[in-house]
């Protein structure tokens, strides 16, 4: 049964990857751009999913890390650096700033922590808007080049999509490694019972800081991809509303589930496009769908899938204490 | 006499005007099973929390194997070989029984970085499976801990406390809310573990039958003070204890 399940998961991943490869073929530039946005926001949501979904630390600042990654990459690529060199610097900066943002989480939890991160997002927005000499202020930065890799040039929308897909696969594999490692177990323990985790030797302070730092670095990576994708960035693209949007992706997809961010980003980015045929009503329908979903399936789309699976193919398992002779075994 | 594994010296702790623990001192020798009993509000849990560094006493010292541990964090104490269970259920409900127990040992293997980049198992699964078998939980290995019965979760909690191979385990009301069959099973396993590994236990418990049949020595607290100390038989016969706690029927 376990083997079948694992085989099914592998087949599902292969099918999804294949779908991601063929999806933009024959599509126009706009659809390919939307699909690329989906990948970029999936990376940002993957980071927040680590901080919130796995480690249980609320953050309303993911867009600000996208901003730090985006502006670092933009400034460096405009100065002539190759994207491959500029991006890691953005990531390192986000990791460091994320580590610092994690410190308040050692003292405050829940809604208070949400407000701390919200204030941080606002602070980053104000710095980007006011420090015109560096960031271009409200005019933003424009004309960042797309990276070339010898014969593979990403100037065409389709090529940039495949470049982003490659980065997304790499980022996903790294995240898969993290959540399946002892660190991943420690993140979950922090979410479920920090006092017990500490009593078992888990350094909950260090693991809290790492949850913020790694999640923020993923935000930075998404930002580093936004820069060459849009080739124009301005502070308004990284405001609080965008952090809430990334949070929505995590919650809608299924917080704490590995594939949740992909589904959530799909719903938040792609659904409004699918609903465009309804013209003026699409935002109303979209909002109503999100409300209905959150009320009836708080564990997100992955949770809904789990429920359906349990209903259609229930596991042949009885409660352990009802097994004959369980206590005497 | 050998150096005590746990040494509690003149611990005092107050909350506002209430002196919860008053000048409590005792030693625990290696391999002992010490019971800490007393009526509600006698200071048992406060003393436990002072020993485990979750409360800071106003006065006094705690030593583990001769090393002062006052001010250490719970994770640091755990790495010195001190395990514990909690009064309330303390498993990780959304993790399997196996993962719960592996987690309890993983921080004792390798460095922080090797836990990310090194082999993800390092023999932990095998060690966890041995403990699962020891507590006879094999049939629940892959079950989510949150879906187990109360008594089974108590067993998982105990298994977690033993995973890192501690020399001292503090058990906070292990019998609370556990049915009689499961309780007998838990006691039998604790005695077997103590005999097999020589691990020292300090047990807070209200269930007198459980304490008296499990422990080799018992300390009785009342109003924050030690009022008696001795073997279970001596404690049962002590008039002070009968008056303060056990009552005539005990």
Q: What angle is formed at CA A287 by the lines to CA A282 and CA A289, rounded to 5 degrees? A: 95
Interatomic CA distance for residues B245 and B226, integer angstroms: 12
Mean pLDDT of A273-282: 82
The pLDDT of residue A3 is above 60:
no
Question: What dihedral angle (degrees, nearest 10) is formed by the CA atoms of B209, B215, B219, B224?
Answer: -70
Mean pLDDT of B182-188: 90
How much of chain B exceeds pLDDT 90, in percent?
71
Nearest Cα residue in chain A from B53: A199
Question: What dihedral angle (degrees, nearest 10) is formed by the CA atoms of B189, B73, A114, A112?
Answer: 110
Domains of chain B are 6-246 (3.40.50.300)
Interatomic CA distance for residues A132 and A251, integer angstroms: 35
pLDDT tens sequence across A243-256: 999 999 999 999 99
B201, β-bridge pairs:
B33, B169
The pLDDT of residue B218 is above 90:
yes
State whether A203 and B75 contact (CB < 8 Å).
yes
Please indicate whether residue A14 or residue A312 has the higher confidence score (pLDDT).
Answer: A14
pLDDT tens sequence across A206-242: 999 999 999 999 999 999 999 999 999 999 999 999 9
One-character DSSP codes across A185-215: HHHHHHHH-HHHHHHTT--HHHHHHHHHHHH
- 3-class SS letters over B217-233: EEEEEECCEEEEEECHH
Q: Kindly list the distances between the CA atom of residue A219 and the CA atoms of A59, A76, A82, B125, B135, in Å, as whole numbers in the listed order.
A: 12, 18, 20, 34, 44
B140 contact A CB<8A: yes
The pLDDT of residue B64 is above 50:
yes
Complex ipTM, two decimals?
0.90
Q: Kindly list the distances between the CA atom of residue B181 and the CA atoms of A277, B22, B185, in Å, as whole numbers in the listed order.
A: 65, 37, 6
At A2 the pLDDT is 52
pTM to 2 decimal places: 0.90
How does strand A141-142 pair with strand B217-222? unpaired
Say how many CB pairs under 8 Å bridge A and B. 107
pLDDT tens sequence across A32-72: 999 999 999 999 999 999 999 999 999 999 999 999 999 99
The encoded tokens of residue B241 equal 């204890």
- C-alpha gyration radius of chain B: 18
State whether B182 and A183 contact (CB < 8 Å).
no
State whether B103 and A327 contact (CB < 8 Å).
no
Q: Kindly list the distances between the CA atom of residue A231 and the CA atoms of A77, A243, B135, in Å, as whole numbers in the listed order.
A: 11, 21, 61
Q: How confident is the model at residue A329 (pLDDT cuts 50, 70, 90)?
A: very low
A319 contact B CB<8A: yes
Q: Where are chain A's structural domains?
A: 27-239
State whether A189 and B92 contact (CB < 8 Å).
yes
Nearest Cα residue in chain A from B80: A201
State whether A328 and B185 contact (CB < 8 Å).
yes
Q: Kindly list the distances between the CA atom of residue B97 and the CA atoms of A320, B60, B224, in Å, as whole numbers in the listed order.
A: 11, 38, 37
């Amino acid at each position: 049964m376990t083997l079948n399940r694992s085989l099914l998961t592998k087949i599902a991943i292969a099918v999804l990857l294949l779908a991601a490869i063929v999806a933009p073929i024959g599509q126009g530039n706009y659809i390919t751009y939307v699909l690329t946005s989906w990948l970029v926001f999936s990376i940002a949501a993957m980071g927040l999913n680590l901080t919130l979904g796995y480690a249980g630390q609320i953050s309303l600042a993911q867009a600000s890390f996208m901003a730090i990654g985006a502006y670092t990459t933009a400034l460096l690529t405009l100065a002539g650096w190759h994207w491959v060199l500029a991006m890691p610097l953005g990531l390192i900066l986000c990791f460091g700033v994320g580590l610092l943002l994690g410190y308040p989480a050692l003292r405050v939890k829940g809604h208070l922590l949400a407000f701390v991160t919200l204030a941080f997002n606002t602070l980053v927005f104000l710095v980007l808007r006011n420090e015109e000499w560096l960031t271009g202020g409200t005019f933003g930065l424009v004309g960042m080049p797309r990276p070339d890799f010898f014969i593979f040039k990403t100037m065409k929308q389709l090529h940039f999509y495949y470049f982003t897909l490659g980065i997304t696969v790499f980022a996903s594999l790294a995240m898969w490694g993290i959540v399946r490692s002892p660190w991943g177990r420690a993140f979950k323990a922090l979410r479920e019972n920090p006092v017990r985790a500490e009593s078992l030797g888990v350094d909950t302070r260090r693991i809290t800081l790492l949850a913020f730092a790694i999640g923020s670095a993923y935000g930075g990576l998404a930002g580093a991809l936004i820069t060459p994708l849009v080739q124009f960035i301005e502070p308004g693209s990284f405001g609080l509303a965008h952090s809430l949007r990334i949070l929505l992706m995590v919650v809608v997809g299924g917080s704490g589930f590995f594939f949740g961010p992909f589904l959530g980003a799909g719903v938040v980015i792609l659904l409004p496009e699918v609903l465009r045929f309804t013209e003026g009503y699409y935002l109303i329908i979209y909002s109503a769908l999100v409300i209905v979903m959150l009320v009836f399936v708080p564990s997100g789309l992955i949770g809904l899938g789990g429920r359906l699976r349990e209903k259609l193919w229930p596991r042949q398992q009885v409660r352990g204490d009802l097994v004959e002779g369980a206590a005497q075994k | 006499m050998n150096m005590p594994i746990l040494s509690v010296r003149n611990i005092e702790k107050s909350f506002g005007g209430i002196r919860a623990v008053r000048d409590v001192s005792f030693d625990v020798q290696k391999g002992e099973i010490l019971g800490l009993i007393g009526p509600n509000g006698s200071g048992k849990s406060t003393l436990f929390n002072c020993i485990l560094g979750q409360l800071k006493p106003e006065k006094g010292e705690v030593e583990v194997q001769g090393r002062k541990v006052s001010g250490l964090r719970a994770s640091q104490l755990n790495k010195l070989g001190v395990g514990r269970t909690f009064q309330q259920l303390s498993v990780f409900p959304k993790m399997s029984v196996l993962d719960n127990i592996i987690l309890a040992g993983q921080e004792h293997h390798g460095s922080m970085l090797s836990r990310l980049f090194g082999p993800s198992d390092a023999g932990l699964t095998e060690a966890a499976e041995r403990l699962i078998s020891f507590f006879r939980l094999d049939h629940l290995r892959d079950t989510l801990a949150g879906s187990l019965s109360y008594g089974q979760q108590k067993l998982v909690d105990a298994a977690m406390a033993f995973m890192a191979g501690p020399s001292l385990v503090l058990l906070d009301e292990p019998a609370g809310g556990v049915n009689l069959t499961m309780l007998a099973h838990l006691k039998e396993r604790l005695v077997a573990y103590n005999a097999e590994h020589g691990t020292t236990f300090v047990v807070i418990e209200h269930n007198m039958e459980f304490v008296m049949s499990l422990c080799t020595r018992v300390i009785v607290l009342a109003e924050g003070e030690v009022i008696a100390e001795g073997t279970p038989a001596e404690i049962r016969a002590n008039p002070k204890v009968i008056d303060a706690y056990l009552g005539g029927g005990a």
